[in-house]
Structure 1
């Protein structure tokens, strides 16, 4: 009979304390949960992706336009970059406490292994479009292959993004050619259905999610390159002291957001019903929107880094949103529970006359409620249910 080996208490350091936290990463995570909510609630409401009204009228055109320009394929890269940033922060805290490198690696592998388990449960019970499992897989890859490399090696990450920029420009050129040569019947932007979101019963949706989740997870593991950028940035401690990196943050914010907005703009015009092109052109514009969306990750992060560098006082909204960022795992899971209760066909299935409005209003309402709840937890020094469970399992 074998027994599990338990490290002595002095061999590892516990989780981060409140005084050790940097404001910028928490504020970014808390604020960006709103964009995650806008994306995922719309998927639930329309039972498919990207979750937009295919025949928009009036203000629905504006909702479609803003969602396709600022949200879709632009929210998850933020969390991918921040995930890489967090890996380095966690490892650095352990090492600064004198924890042996082998023990640090075991902690990281254990934490990411539990993220995979959290993701499997989340995807099975609530939402197939889970990212936790993919983060766990990518976290294990990064722990084994990237974290202990030197600065020169990590410059490769910056080079990869430079190559990606050239590729986006190439795709953009192809898209311009496709639009200019469009000659067939106009093709509107439609949602690709997800059976689990349209299921008429919870049991049916659960079975559908078991089929959808593995494929979704496999399709997003490639964002390891986005995570790697976060690792590079964390090694430079850019967000711990954003004021010292204001020039870099300004360039990344302007460049990253310009690329992601311009790349999403043509598809947003189609989605709003203001640009009419054939199906081949729509397909090309969809791909351009997807590949340019990854630049929204560093762009949004740099924008918030600049905001933090100019803050002179911590106002109540800043503290509350940061509290949600400290509890982003609980906030993320709370959102999925909310979509299931409010929008699934077999629960409340809310509809206020327009699916687009309904999804957006519910997303904002759930996010505001989660900000209020996180602030209340912070005042009581409670980490959050998901964070508490994960830390108990890891430490």
Structure 2
């Protein structure tokens, strides 16, 4: 007699396979890592924020303008939206494999707890402006309070974003009034120093980061409303089939990019030295730039969604950038290692070895991003997920 043994079904499934991935999310993450690099490399090079030349000349004026108008406070909301999108995708895959609701919750809580740990290590060793830890905290909140809600409940986030538009308009009116009333001496846009970025030794920078990281993480937790928008979008499968949502994506792109560009434009003009206002006006325009920046998240994502809807052939650049998007955590951490090696005062300090700190930051950002794209594509050809993703998956699954 043959005895057959029936194995119990696993209460969760492993990580997503390559064939299951949608193009749009990966392409968005890979491409937007360039903007993250442009922002963070400048912070390192100038040892402060927003990381711009205070007295720009020539091409530096254009660099300041483009960075303040299209990058600062506009790149990280993209990843916040995509983080929320990924939470739903992960939960959906677990449920489709037969995992129980309790198992799905345990996997999500475990994964986000490890993100907090990854963030703490990243912030302590490399860069205080870490977002992984904040993602982990927000991910736990979303898992416990948002993911299992009804479609009707999730409509609340649309109302919140409509209110945010009203708030941006209110801030814009104040900024315009302050700018018109500007009468004091012209105030140049200056960098707010970050002690860890200007430290003379690695040990000194580490001690500063231990103080800076908790404050930075607490300050960005409110981006949960950006993450929540990603949750709503994922429930609608918008990026899995962008062609079917072209009308919605077009409207979001127009509204989102209009608000984020117009909101950053005045500060960009000040940073370029083309608009001269007093200190009070600069403060008002900085506030406007920050509150309008969150609309860059859905705006940029909608633009990429429309781009993917038009792609008929996966060219080499698309495959390579998407490969980086599949390994976005490794790419993000690689950037911090690169900035520490290339731009810190106690390492190569390239920001002060060239005629222009802005040029050095730009060159480093583009070069490091290109290296990460090439590296990610090489990994994809060898079916290697990436070091950070591999470690996280082993810890979670």
TM-score range, shorter chain: over 0.9
In structure 1, C-alpha distance between the alignment counterparts of 2:255 and 2:91, rounded to whole Å: 30
1:244-323 alignment, distance < 5 Å: 244-323=244-323
Q: Does 1:109 align with 2:109?
A: yes
State the partner residue of 2:238.
238
In structure 1, C-alpha distance between the alignment counterparts of 2:34 and 2:354, rounded to whole Å: 20
Q: CA deviation at 1:10?
A: 1.1
State the partner residue of 1:4.
none
State the partner residue of 1:360.
362
In structure 2, C-alpha distance between the alignment counterparts of 1:157 and 1:323, rounded to whole Å: 31
| Per-residue CA distance 1:258-296 (angstroms, 9 max, x = gap) | 110000000000000000000000000000000000000
Q: CA deviation at 1:352?
A: 2.2
SS of the aligned residue for 1:359 comes to: helix
Q: CA deviation at 1:254?
A: 1.0
| Per-residue CA distance 1:316-338 (angstroms, 9 max, x = gap) | 00000000000000000000000
Deviates more, 1:46-55 or 1:344-353: 344-353
State the partner residue of 1:383.
385
Q: CA deviation at 1:9?
A: 6.7
State the partner residue of 1:196.
196
CA RMSD of aligned residues (A): 0.6
State the partner residue of 1:214.
214
In structure 1, C-alpha distance between the alignment counterparts of 2:65 and 2:133, rounded to whole Å: 30
Q: Does 1:53 align with 2:53?
A: yes
Q: CA deviation at 1:353?
A: 1.1
SS of the aligned residue for 1:11 comes to: coil
State the partner residue of 1:87.
87
- Unaligned 5+ residue runs, structure 2? 1-7
- Unaligned 5+ residue runs, structure 1? 1-7
In structure 1, C-alpha distance between the alignment counterparts of 2:10 and 2:89, rounded to whole Å: 20
**Structure 2 CA distance for partners of 1:332 and 1:9, relative to 1, 3 Å:** farther
In structure 1, C-alpha distance between the alignment counterparts of 2:56 and 2:269, rounded to whole Å: 12
State the partner residue of 1:5.
none
In structure 2, C-alpha distance between the alignment counterparts of 1:353 and 1:95, rounded to whole Å: 56
In structure 2, C-alpha distance between the alignment counterparts of 1:338 and 1:353, rounded to whole Å: 21
In structure 1, C-alpha distance between the alignment counterparts of 2:354 and 2:86, rounded to whole Å: 39
In structure 1, C-alpha distance between the alignment counterparts of 2:10 and 2:95, rounded to whole Å: 13
Matched positions, count: 388
State the partner residue of 1:331.
331
Deviates more, 1:344-353 or 1:27-36: 344-353
TM value normalised by structure 1: 0.98
**Structure 2 CA distance for partners of 1:15 and 1:23, relative to 1, 3 Å:** same
In structure 2, C-alpha distance between the alignment counterparts of 1:182 and 1:324, rounded to whole Å: 46
In structure 2, C-alpha distance between the alignment counterparts of 1:293 and 1:258, rounded to whole Å: 11
TM value normalised by structure 2: 0.97
Q: CA deviation at 1:79?
A: 0.2
